[in-house]
Structure 1
Amino acid sequence: PAPLLYEIASADGSVEGWMVGTIHALPAFVKWRTPAIEKAVTSADLLVVEIAALGDGADIARTFAALATSPDLPPLSERLPPALRPRLAELLERGDFTAREFAATETWAAALTLARIDAAGDPANGVDRALIAEFTGRRVRELEGAAAQLALFDRLPEAQQRAMLAAVVEESAAAARDPERLQRAWLAGDAKAIEASTREGVLADPAVREVLLTARNRRWAAALAPLLAEAPRPLIAVGAAHLVGPEGVPALLEAQGYRLRRIP
């Protein structure tokens, strides 16, 4: 294993913290902890994650339900191009769902729910969740929180929500054939493959990509710069898709004068 891991240093070379790319669901048997990751966990004074309260599944579920439900929605199939409706029926059957279950579910929430059908791994084994457990007794700081993160989806215009749903349905056959593809790229630290994935599927729509990826990267980099300037040294653990390419958080921090070195 060689997940993306960076040492962050100031212009004079002083180490200010570390950044690791996470994946939010894994099978229980995957061994991803490298000596370098363990050293970063031990050396860091605090942990920075997207959502700190991942252990409170009931609260997250309540937040999701409150945002995801609306009355008088059109049937799910009518929110898709006619050509994709047979694939939707196949996906619903594979997930043991009925169309009626989504009658009051907003389009973005339906897309996220259906995307889990062919996803490999269990969120209980997510890397961010494991790291939060490692920092018991040390400070854990969140960049967004569950409510703010879900609100990003909820505020998408319906056209972009339908683009998300169409992408999930269209990609469902390929996802079913090779559900571990992105896990392999993450485990190998394959930055090129991870970056390519940020322009596929749901993120292929430029408007969706801006909201869900690049705008968040800019906000996070702006929030992290003053944190890195303080005395406590953080381990920053966010989804690996946010760590790659010229619009990724490492590139944005480098533009602010920080030096980032990948640790094998």
Structure 2
Amino acid sequence: MYLHIPGTNVRLLGSMHLFPASSRRTPPWIEEAYDWAETLVFESDPPTILPFLKADVEGGAQVLQSLVPADAWTRLQAAWPTEGPLAPLADLRPWATLIVAPTLFQQLVDGVEPRMLRWANAHGKPYRYLETASEVADALESIPLDTVAAALSLLMSDTGEPQRTLERMHAAWLEADLPAVARIADESPIFTLPAIRHAILDARNRLWAQRVRDLLPQAQRTLVVVGALHLCGPGNLVECLGRAAQPILDDE
């Protein structure tokens, strides 16, 4: 979960972007990693993605309505916010609907990145991002409509699943148990759909690997913070880098 690339000043940290509200605890290696780093690199800047959530006139989430069971669509609409940047549902891109929908059924608090950003801003520690908002949108836009619809149908058939999965994953993450994190993700209905896994994990891992390679010669101690799922399973970021990565022990 917290790895060093030998022969470089680059470390990788597997994060959780959001925590379950019932368990806000962070493991000690989060602050240790932050304190070690002279500069931070995060996945992307969430506020810059907001303008990409809304679709053109004919490309909104309403195109999904005929692909999702009527009762599921009705319940999704009822759960959707009526105000704010995510409203109305019909104006969102289909992939944005997919990304946002599970969070409507979760009780959440800020995870690793929001906390580290607050620390960095308070301490004047520099940070940057591995990808642009446009690149995030392009990756998610690749998910076929029928796959988005299938994922939403699975979600609405068991709206308690996102919270259960989040709590299980957070518990495994606290123990730095990457195999368990991967196993829990594999059991999540949405990640049984290959196109979603490809867009969210595989394609972005390949893109990020190119950019992490550019960081390897740097003299500055650099911490790259990515979601824990990017560090486990086939096609993970370390595998795409083609470099060994060693776990950092508590006493290092």
In the TM superposition, 1:30-179 aligns within 5 A as 30-34=24-28, 36-51=29-44, 53-54=45-46, 57=47, 59-65=48-54, 68-71=55-58, 74=62, 76-80=64-68, 82=69, 85-94=70-79, 101-122=88-109, 125-136=110-121, 137-175=124-162
Contact 2:72 2:153 survives alignment (8 Å): no
Query: Identity, % of aligned pairs?
Result: 24
TM, length-normalised to structure 1: 0.77
Residues 196-215 of structure 1 show CA distances to partners (whole Å, capped at 9, x for unaligned) of 24433322222222222112
- Report what 1:9 is aligned to: 6
Contact 1:49 1:237 survives alignment (8 Å): yes
For the structure 1 residues 159 and 90, does the alpha-carbon distance in structure 2 shift closer, same or farther, using more than 3 Å as the test? closer
Residues 34-92 of structure 1 show CA distances to partners (whole Å, capped at 9, x for unaligned) of 0x3333222212101012x44xx4x5433323xx3533764644221x4xx43444454
SS in 2 for 1:208: helix
Gaps of 5+ in 2: none
Within the candidate set 236, 247, 250, 2:238 is matched to 250
TM, length-normalised to structure 2: 0.80
Q: 1:262 deviation in Å?
A: 4.2
CA distance in 2, matches of 1:156, 1:221: 21
SS in 2 for 1:165: helix
Contact 2:53 2:93 survives alignment (8 Å): no
Contact 1:108 1:165 survives alignment (8 Å): no
For the structure 1 residues 227 and 154, does the alpha-carbon distance in structure 2 shift closer, same or farther, using more than 3 Å as the test? same
Contact 2:41 2:128 survives alignment (8 Å): yes
SS in 1 for 2:92: coil
CA distance in 2, matches of 1:96, 1:43: 40
